[in-house]
Amino acid sequence: MVTDKYVIREQNASLVLEQIVQQAPISRASLSSNIGLNKATVSDITKKLLEDKLIEEIGIGESSHSGGRKPILLQLNNKAGLSIAIELGYDFISTMVTYLDGEVVFYNKERGTFITKENVLAHVSNIIEKYEKISNLTTYGIIGIGIAIHGIVNENTISFTPYYDLDKIALYEELTNLYQYPIHIENEANLTAIGESTFSTEFNNLISLSIHSGIGAGIIIDGQLFTGLDGRAGEIGHSVLYPNGKACPCGNKGCLEQYCSDKVLLEQFRERKQLTDVTPDLLAELYYANDPDVQEIIQQHCYNLSKGVNNIMTFFAPKVIFMNSSVIRRIPEILSLTNDNLESSFNKDIVIENSSLGSKASLFGATALNIRNFLNISHLKIINTD
């Protein structure tokens, strides 16, 4: 059943394991009923999963209304392996290590580290080798490395990164030459959408809008990530807001992210207040102190942002749009102010929410990719109730 260390390939075993992950604690009889496999087949599969230490028996459930023997309940052995997720921002590195249920073992964000094609391999290798030292404490060790990139990625190949030069290095090939672990490289916004879909919501049609140095949209349609031609879907930040406006690294002029990314917003704040150093915390402090300059900046920001949000709503009609922004986390009123600028009837019943996963959203998405690949589960749902 387990053909190698990292992937369970037998289809029925994957169906059983998917049910255990999503419905635990669950009995063998319930598994048989839910999946439509006979009890003997389920018993054989769970026996092998127990031998492989991928699931565990956790106690006795209630007997049925007709009486009889009380069932033994099963759940995923969450601590069977470790997932490593890494986000490479242009000036930071975030790392998150979890068990197979997304429980966080370690998290760190290192700011002020400028990522380049010359140093990226060393940074990622240092992280991997650090956790190799503790991986033997679990049955399967490191089950995958997921990496979030701020740029266009298609099938692990980085093709465009406007704010650093990681499109100039074959990072996937370099890492797979060095390590035996499955490597997953994906666009940061796409990963935030996968993270939200896996860990925070039951909805299967959603958009996750990442607003950082740029603006990207991760798109989940019917539970699946939509990436478009060569991974280029969701680059909402490069839709034109003001024709013949500010020049953008993509080659266009007047792109949305040149007017309402967090990076641009903070730069406007710095220039307006003639400060040498600004932070989202300082922006929020002056906003809540009713500073007139900051109030004006935020109002214009919300107006511009609403145009991008309106386009997303019109194109995709998602059930919910998650907003992921360090500024919005500190000034959540931006959501209502943006919503006030949305007047189209097409926007009815579409919810705009602050991401509950926050700055870890892309890391949870990378974690989901690692776990899905390891367990061979295509529809992973582990709702995070923390």
Interval 158-188: pLDDT, tens: 999 988 999 999 999 999 999 999 999 999 9
Nearby residues of 189 by Cβ (< 8 Å), 6 or more positions away: 208, 209, 210, 216, 217, 218, 234, 362
Nearby residues of 339 by Cβ (< 8 Å), 6 or more positions away: 306, 352
Confidence grade of residue 131 (pLDDT, cut at 50, 70, 90): very high
Bin 59: left if φ > 0, else alpha if -120 < ψ < 50, else beta: left
The predicted model gives 320-333 an average pLDDT of: 96
Distance of CA 205 to the CA centre of its chain: 15
Token code pair at residue 314: 């019109």
Q: Contact at 8 Å (CB) between 76 and 140?
A: no
Residue 371 has pLDDT above 90, yes or no: yes
Share of the chain above pLDDT 70, in %: 95
The predicted model gives 271-285 an average pLDDT of: 96
Higher pLDDT, 59 or 83: 83
Interval 212-241: pLDDT, tens: 989 999 999 999 999 999 999 999 999 999
Per-residue model confidence (pLDDT) at position 163 = 87
Share of the chain above pLDDT 90, in %: 82
Higher pLDDT, 60 or 336: 336
Residue 143 has pLDDT above 60, yes or no: yes
**pLDDT mean across residues, the chain:** 92
Token code pair at residue 227: 């990436």
The predicted model gives 136-158 an average pLDDT of: 95
DSSP state of 236: G
The three state secondary structure string of 73-85 is EEEECHHHCEEEE
Give DSSP secondary structure letters for 316-358.
Answer: H--SEEEEE-HHHHH-THHHHHHHHT---GGGTT-EEEE-SSG
Least reliable range by pLDDT among 56-60, 359-363, 368-372: 56-60
Per-residue model confidence (pLDDT) at position 162 = 87
Per-residue model confidence (pLDDT) at position 171 = 97
Per-residue model confidence (pLDDT) at position 344 = 74
The predicted model gives 308-313 an average pLDDT of: 92
Residue 39 has pLDDT above 70, yes or no: yes
Question: Which pTM value belongs to this model?
Answer: 0.91
Q: Contact at 8 Å (CB) between 137 and 367?
A: no
Residue 118 has pLDDT above 50, yes or no: yes
Per-residue model confidence (pLDDT) at position 46 = 94
* Distance between CA atoms of residues 149 and 100, nearest Å: 22
Interval 77-97: pLDDT, tens: 999 999 999 999 989 999 999
